[in-house]
Amino acid sequence: MEASEAAPAVATAAVMEAEDVSGGKGSWYVLGERALMVPYMREHVPRYHDWMQDPALLEATASEPLSLSQEFEVHRSWTLDPLKHTFILLDKELIEGEFVPGNPHTEAMVGDVNIYMNDSDDMQIAEIEIMIAEHKSRGKGIGQEAILLMMAFAVEKYGIHTFRAKISESNTASLKLFRKLGFKDASYSAVFKEVTLEAPTDSLPLRFPLTIGDW
Ligand SMILES: CC(C)(COP(=O)(O)OP(=O)(O)OC[C@H]1O[C@@H](n2cnc3c(N)ncnc32)[C@H](O)[C@@H]1OP(=O)(O)O)[C@@H](O)C(=O)NCCC(=O)NCCS
């Protein structure tokens, strides 16, 4: 290839990489006591895809099985969607060496947490979803910490005033977790066998300031 042709290709790749990391929404990590929330990067997709082969996780998260290339496409659409913000959760105990911003640290990824501003009547309501996929990292308080960190982040960066969670009626662990944090049952869908819970921001035990760093 001619040198003159190579330059735009490199520039395009750089732009795509930037899009993939932040989608124009800013790119941060958030530090907790047990968990670190980092941007969902392309490097995370193969392991994420492995997790989503588990029928129990598919059911708990109301997801459909995808091929790896579909998972890469979903990753791209999530990162570019201005109404969605996703973090991969790192278990701090599993990080090899020092945490380095910009490094995907796939060795420590254990789940994800995301918000979705999908209520067209009020864009400052966010639906929140959490998944701790790695069983070895469940029951350590990471899920609870990640929800609280994500909600504080959403208040700070998106001005969210109410959070919503849609949880299968059979998912007792997740129902218990959200109710423990102060979410109240708002409605029930007999068709989807799903409970919708809600919490106004000022009723939640959120802690500020957050420890946020540039990615
Ligand atoms: C539900 C889930 C997020 C919990 O994450 P976790 O990190 O294991 O939970 P934590 O250690 O932070 O526990 C916090 C609270 O959640 C509840 N909880 C967590 N696991 C539980 C379980 N197996 N049974 C009952 N309650 C449970 C408890 O209230 C717990 O507080 P406590 O220890 O004071 O009783 C995790 O099990 C998961 O991702 N499951 C599969 C995917 C899923 O269901 N996602 C939610 C869809 S909305």
pLDDT digits (tens, 9 = 90+) for 84-105: 999 999 999 999 999 999 999 9
How much distance in Å is there from the Cα of 14 to the middle of ligand 1? 39
Cβ-based neighbour number of residue 33 at 10 Å: 10
39 with 215: CB under 8 angstroms? yes
Helix axes 172-180, 142-158, angle to 10 degrees: 50
Cis check for the bond before 209: say yes or no (omega within 30 of 0). Answer: yes
pTM of the shown model? 0.91
CA 183 – ligand 1 centroid, Å? 14
User: What lines the ligand 1 site, CB under 6 Å?
Assistant: 57, 60-61, 111, 129-132, 138-144, 165, 167, 171-174, 176-177, 180
Domains and CATH numbers, the chain: 28-209 (3.40.630.30)
Helix (H) or strand (E) segment spanning residue 175:
helix 172-180
What does the pLDDT look like over 114-129, one tens digit per residue? 999 999 999 999 999 9
SS3 130: strand
Q: How far is the CA of 132 from the centre of ligand 1 (A)?
A: 8
* Cα 64 to middle of ligand 1, angstroms: 22
Q: Residue 26's pLDDT is what?
A: 79
Q: How far is CA 41 from CA 6, 69, 74, 99, 156, in A?
A: 25, 15, 12, 16, 22
Confidence band (pLDDT; 50, 70, 90) for 7?
very low
